[in-house]
Structure 1
Amino acid sequence: MAENAKHLFCFGLGYSAQALIAELRRNQPGQWRFSGTSRSADRVYPDIEMQPFDGGGRLPQPDILQSADHVLISIPPNAGPPDKAGDPVLRQCSDLLAGHGGLKWLGYLSTTGVYGDRQGDWVDEQAAIAPSHDRGQRRADAEAGWLDLWRRHGLPVHLFRLAGIYGPGRNALVSLRQGKAHRAVKPGQVFSRIHVADVAAVLAASMARPDPGAAYNLADDEPAPPQDVVAHAAGLLGMEPPPEVPLEQAGLSPMALSFYSESKRVANDRIKRDLGVSLRYPTYRDGLAALLREL
């Protein structure tokens, strides 16, 4: 590792954070030090300094955070009573971050759910924040809290509004092979999605071109009905796709049904224009074809 290595601290070593670390290791070998948190003290990641953090208390080793110059927050806000609701990092660590003069970049992973239901219309980053449900409202509240720290303390906050993430281990090909795929149909319903490798590429591009206060939509070029994605994946596998079933007869969980309460097409022009990103997988067909080769 280089003597002047940059240091990324990740609140939550989840799917997207691990993809970002892999991206930085691949494209900038030896230039980064990594640290982060996990809800369990038993989780171990190769060459990553870990400490437990479940949002219920302070970081046990805050000095590690203080030595970071880049911070990624991928922990979702909580529901629950007022003393536990909301963004746990804001609640427990905002003073540490606000007083951290060495930060060059802070990324908060949010969701396109902050835009609410647009009945299939396009939304860009200038669209009004209008969540349709409590989960989206918690994300909108967290975004507002992070932007407040940017305005009051100059914290280099960047917001990333992610569409549905898919990638290795999490995709329609896997669901079909496991017998868990379905094709619930709601007329006019479309979702946007993005491959996790493109999530990592956008985050890395933002780190190279920081613009504090900016928000970015992370979505591919082709919003599509979910049943079309499953049908295409089945074709790639040479399988018969599951039958289309009206949404109200699909037996989905309340959580799954809540996603069908929103339909929108998410515009991604800003990541291309401002960050110079060229998506590796501009459509679900590109992403699934690559994932098929990895099976």
Structure 2
Amino acid sequence: MQVMIFGAGYSGQAIGAATLARGKAAAGTTRGPDRLAHLGSRGIIPYLYDGEHLSPVLRGAMLTTTHLVQSIPPGSGGDSLLRLTEGDLKRWFPALTWVAYLSTVGVYGNHDGAWVDETTPCQPKSARAVERVRAEAAWREAGRAAGIPVAILRLAGIYGPGRNALVNLHRGTAHRIIKKDQVFNRIRVEDIANATMFLASSNRAGIFNVTDDEPAPPQDVVSEAARLMGVQPPPEQDFETADMRPIARSFYGDNKRISNAALRNLGFQFAFPNYRSSLAELWSSGRWFG
């Protein structure tokens, strides 16, 4: 197995670590030359990719890639890798046997707190979610044309070491925004990585929600983090009057409970199925700050 991760950021690096832990080779791309050494220090073979050009050295690595993970969000012009390769996976990745496209549960849109699963029709509201739906379809079509299985991983809100409510409290940036009946799912970054490897091990195709078991109000997560730290949680703020950036406010427009049963029914076990056990592990292990 030769894994290539386009977009080796927070989730991509976790996938790289999980790949290496299984004794397999991992490569990854970054936009910044200053990030190459960081990826290399983690054992991930680093390549530059700016979304506009495929360098000769990167094209060479693509020839031996067996498992491709696309973690770069699309733009208004669509998925950059599909655009540059004209969707011809067999030509650019002749050794390829499996693709993972990392998407988002935002494609489902708002369901007023109701449960959704992979059979629920997408009704994206934001431009970002619309772009994701189009990218999902484009990757599935590219896979179909090449005869290569494509797994679409729809991710909930990502957190983990260095990115969590404990860190936000420590930095004084945590907020308890109250919107009646609002819930979110979330997912620990290590579970994203392990789910990716689980699906890659059998070249499994399909759409999979990668999310925890317990959709919960966001203020409850902050309160639990404060309890673990032994500090007072920040005061509650009403959503309607809270001072929030537009992008943060937009996330509250989608309210749903997301099922992960499809992935569980294949035999995958989440290491961090809810925010309470996950925050407790981050705090007790000392890994909460990254």
Which TM-score band applies after superposition, normalised by the shorter structure?
Answer: over 0.9
Q: Which consecutive segments of 4 or more residues in structure 1 shift more than 4 A?
A: none
5+ residue gaps, structure 1: 1-5, 80-84
Task: Give the equivalent residue in structure 1 for 2:150.
Answer: 157
Aligned to 1:37: 29
DSSP-derived class of the 1:140 partner = helix
Post-superposition Cα deviations, 1:161-214, rounded to whole Å, max 9, x if no partner, equal 0000110000000000100000111101100001111111111100112223x0
After TM superposition, the score normalised by the length of structure 2 is 0.93
Q: Distance in 2 between matches of 1:37 and 1:21?
A: 11
Worse-superposed segment, 117-126 or 56-65 = 56-65
Alignment-derived partner of residue 54 in structure 1: 50
Query: For structure 2, which runs of at least 5 residues remain unmatched after alignment?
Result: none
Following superposition, the deviation at residue 96 of structure 1 comes to 5.1
Do the aligned partners of 1:58 and 1:93 also contact (CA within 8 Å) in 2? no
TM-aligned CA deviation for residue 271 of structure 1? 0.9
- Which residue identity is paired with 1:141? R
- Counting only pairs closer than 5 Å after superposition, residues 76-225 of structure 1 correspond to structure 2 as 76-79=73-76, 85-95=77-87, 97-99=89-91, 100-212=93-205, 214-225=206-217
1:245 counterpart residue number: 237
CA–CA distance in 2 between the matches of 1:115 and 1:108? 16
- The answer to whether the Cα contact below 8 Å between 1:120 and 1:265 also exists between their aligned partners in 2 is yes
- What is the DSSP-based 3-state SS (H/G/I as helix, E as strand, rest coil) of the residue aligned with 2:33? coil
Shift of 1:16: 1.1
Q: Say whether residues 1:255 and 2:224 are aligned partners.
A: no
Residue 63 of structure 1 corresponds to 60
> Once the 2 structures are TM-superposed, how far is the Cα of residue 98 of structure 1 from its aligned partner?
3.6
Q: Share of identical aligned residues, percent?
A: 42
Provide the alpha-carbon RMSD of the alignment: 1.3
Q: 1:109/1:211 Cα in 2 relative to 1: closer, same or farther (>3 Å)?
A: same
| Matched residue, 2:270 | 279
The size of the alignment, in residue pairs, is 280
Residue in structure 2 matched with residue 3 of structure 1 by the alignment:
none
Distance (whole Å) between structure 1 residues aligned to residue 28 and residue 270 of structure 2: 27
CA distance in 1 between counterparts of 2:159 and 2:32 reads: 25
